[in-house]
Amino acid sequence: MDHSAIAVRYAKAFFSLAKEKNRLKTLKTDIELIANVCENSADFNRLLESPIIGTSKKVKLLTDIFKGRVDGLTLKFISLITRNKREVHIPGICRNFVNLLRKDQNIKSAIITTATEIDSETIKKIIALVETELETKIEISSNINPEIIGGMVLRLDDKQYDASVATQLKKVKQELLETELEI
């Protein structure tokens, strides 16, 4: 079976259960914690991928790692995945769960890139403006890229609004070159 299909199937099942039990917010927090561990711990990923460590040992280790840190339902879900020998798919399941939640709650992800760090008040204003304009909730992350010189680049889904000084300078340069060619 396709690896992504496995992750999608488990994520859909857990999402449906979370929605049915009215615990989406709690379980989202749990899934984000697990995804963060997957992303930042090479040892954790080796544990998931190890063919040497038996299933019962993996279940015990995962329970020890997350007990008291995640909801009991999440712990049972991780144990089920592991008993079904699908633990290598946990990172993909987490990603798919978060995507399903965002789609269900009409939440879009945005990335704002600026030349220098911007304060939280400015970010709040940008979020409010974009949420009002698009009639959706926005989760925003920020990047710093000194090469844009000033202004900002806002990426939302597959669209990009580029109000950077570097882009404006490129446009001016292009216009000057075109004007020079006409003379």
- Write down which residue in 82, 103, 124 finishes a domain: 103
Q: What is the pLDDT of residue 181?
A: 67
Same domain membership, residue 92 and residue 15: yes
Dihedral over alpha carbons 89, 93, 95, 101 (to 10 degrees): 180
> Hey, CA dihedral for 62, 67, 91, 145, is it positive or negative?
negative
Number of domains composing the chain: 2
pLDDT digits 0-9 by tens, 33-58: 999 999 999 999 999 999 999 999 99
**pLDDT exceeds cutoff 70 at 129:** yes
Q: What angle do CA 39, 40, 43 make, to 5 degrees?
A: 105
pLDDT greater than 90 at residue 92: yes
- In this structure, the answer to whether residues 120 and 93 fall within a common structural domain is no
Q: What percent of the chain has pLDDT over 90?
A: 66
Residue type, 15: F
110 to each of 105, 122, 150, 156, 165, how far by Cα in Å?
A: 15, 15, 19, 5, 20
- The CATH number of the domain holding residue 61 is 1.10.520.20
Q: Are 81 and 136 contained in the same domain?
A: no
User: Of 68, 103, 138, at which residue does a domain stop?
Assistant: 103
- Pair 55, 9 in one domain: yes
Could you tell me if 47 and 115 lie in one domain? no
Say if residue 47 is in the same domain as residue 129: no
Q: Are residues 92 and 63 in the same domain?
A: yes
DSSP category for residue 116: S
Q: Give the pLDDT confidence of 20-31 residue by residue, as tens digits.
A: 999 999 999 999
Specify whether 135 is located in the same domain as 91. no
- Give the total residue count for the chain: 183
Joined tokens for residue 61: 């280790």
Q: Are residues 13 and 98 both part of a single domain?
A: yes
Q: Examine the domain organization and report whether 114 and 134 are in the same domain.
A: yes
User: Last residue of some domain: 78, 103, 128?
Assistant: 103
Structural contact between residues 45 and 111, judged by C-beta atoms closer than 8 angstroms:
no
pLDDT surpassing 60 at residue 2:
no
pTM: 0.74
Strand 107-114 versus strand 137-144 pairing type:
parallel
What pLDDT sits at residue 71?
A: 94
Residue 98 structural domain: 3-103
Residues 85 and 157 in one domain: no
Average pLDDT, the chain: 90
Same structural domain for residues 7 and 97?
yes
